[in-house]
Structure 1
Amino acid sequence: MLKKLMAEGVGTFWLVFGGCGSAIYAAGAPDVGIGWLGVALAFGLTVLTMAYAVGSISGGHFNPAVTLGLVVAGRHPAGELPAYWGAQLMGGILAAAALYAIASGQSGFEGVGGFASNGYGVLSPNGYGMTAALIIETLLTAVFLIIILGATSARAPAGFAPIAIGLGLTLIHLISIPVTNTSVNPARSTAVALFAQTDALGQLWLFWVAPLVGAVIGAVIWKIMSTED
């Protein structure tokens, strides 16, 4: 079990460090910034690379919503869910702490602002409200679970699941960065909200509720569609 939790912690660390780090350091760099497209690709690449690296150890969840969805779908033991969530949160928080330490070392540092956190209303990149945030985070997490369950099913081609899942997460970010800065992952949202200099913590509830509800919906839809026992 320790090896599984270490793998989940390392994987979630890389997701937050790579995905949020690209948004914090590289997205808005003058002339050479990677923009939203680059950030979306960075999140997808973190999952793709770590799914190949440690997925055989822990299953490669790196996300409390994914773990819950897999439990509902009968793909993961329910008894391991609290420990997986703890490992994912710890990995994400350590990554956010490292990102903050690096950011604070910049010459003329005056604060981290939103710190790649998720939000709605005034914290939404394009000013989308709470209802829009709830809908898109729930919907996209549900689709993400369907992608994961389908790509890892016995009928899917072996060895390609991380590619489908990573590209799926990239597409999810391309859709929803303008709305909420894209969560679909409570660990990712919690980690950076702890360091953000906004009201991100006050809005964090949505980025737990919507992904968890979406994960359950996605798992139920998959179970209905699938012929797997």
Structure 2
Amino acid sequence: MPDETTPVESDDFTEDLTTETWPADLAGPGLVARLAAEATGTFILVLIGAGTAAMAAVTGRGPLDVGLAYGIALMIGIVAWRSVSGAHFNPAVTVGAWLSGRFPGMDVVPYILAQVVGGILAAGIVRIGVGSLEAVTSDSAMSLMGAVSAGYGEHAPLASSGLNFSVAVALTVEALAAGLLTLVVLGAAAKRTTRTVAPFAIGLTFAVLMMWAIPFTNGALNPARATATALFSDTWALQQLWAWWLAPVVGAAIVGLLYRIYGSVEEPEVAEESAEA
């Protein structure tokens, strides 16, 4: 006869989604400090990544430069802010970390808002920088920001070459890429993973996924980044923005739920470190 004190796995799964088990007096940075870290980290990510993408559009450089820029920028953010906020810098990763049971649900919305604000500020600086170029007019600056923004169909990166990937292809690519990124993030956040490995594992994963996704969608993977660049682009970028929220969040959410069910059984670390996401 089974021990009555043994928890039933299905009951744990159901209760975890509705019950917060995070202690109210967590040691470490408070919410304001963590939100500032998320905003700053996302700012760095978008400033370096989108800035490099804008220059690549001018000079004709390929996905390798842009992917490495985003990956290295993410490494910088993780090293600088991991111990403060968990270094998400991505709404999809935040949702995945929450659904995996490694991040408190009450902080999901504040984190996402901080990430979006940080991204918008960085994209604004990139837009000003692009507009300051002598050969770039106001209209061409918006078009250049459009070249940095994610797009599908006639606005896909290779549409001029006849590869105007459909919305179905774009959603699939983005969901898979965001899901894989979230999987690596959650794995790197485990207690058994050394702190020195996580920044490189996550940063290099992000770089490779960006290089893979850029020909299809220009590599959104991050709703905060997609929102930031779309706001300073042509109207089509905002009209397609829904896709860059839906696909990454769904991909990350699926991975988060699967990780909760099949991932390693361990006590989550404190909030600011558990979501190394």
State the TM-score, normalizing by the size of structure 1.
0.95
Q: Is the 8 A contact 2:38 2:114 kept in 1?
A: yes
- Measured in 2, the distance between the counterparts of 1:72 and 1:22 equals 33
Choose the corresponding residue for 1:60, options 78, 87, 95.
87
- Measured in 1, the distance between the counterparts of 2:239 and 2:259 equals 33
User: Once structures 1 and 2 are overlaid, which stretch shifts more, 18-27 or 59-68?
Assistant: 18-27
- Measured in 2, the distance between the counterparts of 1:27 and 1:202 equals 22
Matches within 5 A, 1:179-198: 179-198=216-235
Please state whether the residue corresponding to 2:194 is helix, strand or coil.
coil
Choose the corresponding residue for 1:86, options 94, 98, 113.
113
Q: Is the 8 A contact 1:27 1:36 kept in 2?
A: no
Matched with 2:130 is 103
Q: Is the 8 A contact 2:99 2:260 kept in 1?
A: no
Matched with 2:155 is 123
Q: Is the 8 A contact 1:27 1:39 kept in 2?
A: no
Choose the corresponding residue for 1:35, options 59, 62, 69.
62
> % of aligned pairs identical?
40
Deviation (angstroms), 1:167: 0.4
Q: 1:11 is matched by which residue type in structure 2?
A: G
Matched with 2:6 is none
Deviation (angstroms), 1:222: 2.0
Matched with 1:203 is 240
Structure 2: stretches of 5+ with no match in the other structure: 1-30, 159-163, 267-277
Q: 1:131 is matched by which residue type in structure 2?
A: A
User: Which 4+ residue blocks in structure 1 deviate beyond 6 angstroms?
Assistant: none
Q: 1:214 is matched by which residue type in structure 2?
A: G
Matched with 2:39 is 9
Deviation (angstroms), 1:154: 1.6
Matched with 1:74 is 101
Q: Is the 8 A contact 2:101 2:260 kept in 1?
A: no
User: Once structures 1 and 2 are overlaid, which stretch shifts more, 139-148 or 20-29?
Assistant: 20-29
Q: Is the 8 A contact 1:115 1:192 kept in 2?
A: no
Matched with 1:226 is 263
User: Once structures 1 and 2 are overlaid, which stretch shifts more, 197-206 or 152-161?
Assistant: 152-161
| Equivalences, count | 226
Please state whether the residue corresponding to 1:90 is helix, strand or coil.
helix
Q: 1:39 is matched by which residue type in structure 2?
A: V
- Measured in 2, the distance between the counterparts of 1:135 and 1:150 equals 23
Q: CA RMSD in A?
A: 1.3
Q: Is the 8 A contact 2:123 2:232 kept in 1?
A: yes
Q: Is the 8 A contact 2:97 2:103 kept in 1?
A: yes
Structure 1: stretches of 5+ with no match in the other structure: none
Deviation (angstroms), 1:25: 1.5
Q: Is the 8 A contact 2:57 2:147 kept in 1?
A: no
